[in-house]
Amino acid sequence: MGLDWKPLNKPLAGREEEYEDIFLTLSGKKKANTSILGSLFGKKQKSEEELLEQFLDISIPAYETLTAPKVGFDEKANEWAKSQFDQRTDKNQPLQEFLQEMHGYHVVDLVTEHDGIPVYIAPHYEPHVFRAQFLQICEQILGEEMMEEAYTSQLAPGTVDFGKRLMKIAEDYASKYNLQYLKEQRIPPDSDEDTPESKVHILFSAAKWLLWWGQRGHGYEADF
């Protein structure tokens, strides 16, 4: 499957502490708390499913930050949904029923390209998910600690910090080979995978993705 970075929801204003507490519990970094009185009266810890539901209730999806058009709300999203109609599984399904099922779907494919929409993606995920498996090509440049961190889910502050450190590595490596221009180039260079050009572009792309999301209040889930 490999490694992918998926933007996390960001906390609603005023719910940051609760959000962080649930994140740490769900990611196994903190044990769920049950008070002494709660234990005496048989109050159970919330299940993982209940915690996830609470997490979603107090947070804003990445789609909202992307301002991705929604089917049933935006005309261009409606047109996109109609274009998908011929690919439906149930060929007997009428158009209106299909559109009703798609109602509220965020169409990330219609978002204007920027650093939060990477060129390094996996076919099984949406376009805003970064295919961090490409960093394996850069393993010798990054070192063991940075590679381990790439496999660790982080909240927004950690995402920004990681992005800044990754950017510094990318800039230093690019300077070594006079490849600084690749920082502003979106499309991957026409080079073999193991060349400095390809490695530097991957590093810049990863750093910019982390900074784009982290600076807008989103952490990421390391999915592998």
pLDDT at 154: 97
- The identity of residue 91, as a single letter, is K
pLDDT at site 44: 53
Per-domain boundaries in the chain: 9-59, 68-110, 132-223
Q: What is the pLDDT of residue 1?
A: 82
Q: What is the mean pLDDT of each run of 10 residues along the chain (224 residues)?
A: 96 97 89 44 69 97 97 96 87 91 96 97 94 98 98 98 99 99 98 97 99 99 97
CA distance 9 to 13: 12
Rounded to two decimals, what is the model's pTM? Answer: 0.89
- pLDDT recorded at residue 45: 65
At 34 the pLDDT is 43
